[in-house]
Amino acid sequence: MTISTALLFDRSVQLMTKQQSDLASIQERAATGKELVRPSDSPELAVNIARIKSTIGQLDGYKSSLNGVNDRLRIEESYLGGAKDVLIKMKQLTLQGSNGSMTGRDREVIAVEIDELTSELKNLANGADANGNFLFGGSRVATAPYKEDEAGVIRYQGDNYRSNIDYTSNRRSSIGRNGLDVFKPILSGEFSDPIPAIYELTLGGTLEPGDMYNLQIDGRSLSYEVRPGDDRDAVLGRLAFNLNEATQSGQLQNIEAQVVDGALQIRAVDGIARTISSDSTNGLAATDDLKALTLTDSQTAITMASLSGTMERGDAVTLSIGTRSLTYHIVGNEGGLSPTTPEAVLSALKDAAESSALFSQSATFQISEADPTELQIHPLRDNIGIITVDAIERTSINNQTINITTVQKPTPPLPERIEFFEALQEVSLLLRTGTQDQIQAKLDHLDQMIDITTLSLADIGAEMGSIDNELSVNADIKVQLESTLAGQEDLDYASAITELQAKMMALEAAQSSFAKISQLSLFDYIR
């Protein structure tokens, strides 16, 4: 291979140019003190550095915000500390005013001082920050949160808004307090009226004498056995009577019962839900052997009626004269006998017929002296119609149903609340017009208010402590990030100087070689 002088010259120039460029790059890095002068020198390193700087910028932003919140919390702490001092003073004055030895004039003086302290507390509640924004109005920072209404009562005009702050990219918290937090309504000592629980019980199916209906309320059981002639309203009415009687005797508490529109309405007037259940049992099976016999003497027109068979509770005997009829339901113990007898039932039928006045113009009735099992019916006039006595066996149908529905859900008595400043203004009013007991009751209200402000101050202290901890954590993270950034961005001067010296020596050697090579000529050897 033949190497020309021109090629050798070009190669030497290229080498020196590269060495000069490398030397200039090192000199630039040394001059700036940065490992990376241009992003294009190392795109990956440039991205890492930009990411770290962005995170440090975020931490600086968080620090600024947290310091701002701390400043606000200190202002809130100052206002609430003043409010607590005022409330303590008001309690002392109220305690003094509740003394039985105080005269009306003495209490009037205390009431005037209470008014002044209430006004002072209102000013504290309307406190603002350095920018003139009201602290305790929620989002309504431009208007005072506490103002008198038309009646002169101090009312809250703000809302329940609380702003949020980002402590870190993953942590957010509410900061500051509104009037509903620091001057919240207090317990008045009164309770709202309860909303009673209302249950309705309805009956279905066939009612039969001897059927038993059972009702259980909170473990207490009440029962009623269906009697002859009972309809649904009668059964429900008896259950209502038993419930009310159990309440009066103390077996049940705060229960009222009545029949309304075919349903047994049970009311738990204390507003507390009750556990109510019910069931029914069918009466004994009927004995189907009851018979009635009616004979009329054609000469005397007297009708003789007799009964035979088993007389059971729920059986019935119907007496008909012409178009009028009367049904007697057998109780089962007529004549004081159990089981009863035909003659006792006929005697009871006679008494029912005579007392009903249905047949007073038609016939008279008497038990035969010769045969007590025979009822004699004597017509009072002609053409009174056909006279019959019929026996009706009771049925035994087991299809009873009981349905219980909740018509109204209960709400128990709830403690009522009174607004913060309204309660304070009542202290002044009662000192002027109230009794000693009423004034003493206000001491509890003031204790609640002091507790509320104390808890608010404790919350502020906790928030400030949390912010200080967060600032400390963020500061530590920033130090670590700055150290990492310095390791990637700052120049290692020792290595850079060594590299600079090496590059300078290489450049000087290249320049010396080039000077000698550039003077070489073939004619120097042809001599």
**Domain boundaries, given as residue ranges, for the chain:** 52-186+418-475, 197-285+400-408, 291-392
Question: How many CB atoms within 10 Å of residue 38?
Answer: 10
Q: How far apart are the first and last CA of the chain?
A: 26
Structure tokens at 259: 């029949």
Angle, in degrees to the nearest 10, between helices 5-32 and 493-518:
160
Alpha-carbon distance 505 to 432, whole Å? Answer: 103
Structure tokens at 338: 């159990």
Q: Which CATH class is domain 197-285+400-408?
A: mainly beta
- C-alpha closest to that of 373 among 398, 343, 416: 343
Question: How many CB atoms within 10 Å of residue 352?
Answer: 17
CATH 3.40.1620 fits 291-392, yes or no: no
Question: How many CB atoms within 10 Å of residue 280?
Answer: 20
As to burial, measured by CB atoms within 10 angstroms (0-12 exposed, 13-18 middle, 19+ buried), residue 205 is middle
Q: Are 182 and 392 in contact (CB under 8 A)?
A: no
Number of continuous H segments (helices) and E segments (strands) in the chain:
9, 20
pTM: 0.60
- SS3 state of residue 109: helix
Beta strand extents in 251-400 (DSSP E only) = 255-260, 263-268, 276-281, 291-296, 303-308, 316-321, 324-329, 363-367, 374-379, 387-392
Question: How many CB atoms within 10 Å of residue 210?
Answer: 20
Q: Are 206 and 400 in contact (CB under 8 A)?
A: yes
Structure tokens at 204: 């279905």
Strand partners, 238: none
pLDDT tens, per residue, the chain with 527 residues: 445 556 656 665 565 566 555 555 555 555 555 555 555 455 666 667 668 777 778 888 888 878 888 888 999 999 999 999 999 999 999 999 999 888 889 999 999 999 999 999 999 999 998 889 999 999 999 999 999 999 999 999 999 988 877 766 677 777 778 999 999 999 999 999 999 999 999 998 877 777 889 999 988 899 998 887 788 999 999 999 999 999 999 999 999 999 999 999 999 999 999 999 988 887 666 677 889 999 998 888 899 999 998 887 778 999 999 999 999 988 878 888 767 889 999 999 999 999 988 998 999 999 998 888 899 999 999 889 999 999 988 766 667 788 999 999 999 999 999 999 999 999 999 999 989 999 999 999 999 999 999 999 999 999 888 888 888 888 888 888 777 766 555 555 556 556 555 656 665 555 566 566 555 555 455 55
What would the CATH number be for the domain defined by 52-186+418-475?
1.20.1330.10
Asked, colleague to colleague, whether 52-186+418-475 and 197-285+400-408 share their fold, the answer is no
Structure tokens at 55: 């995170």
Which residue type sits at 3? Answer: I
Which residue type sits at 30? Answer: A
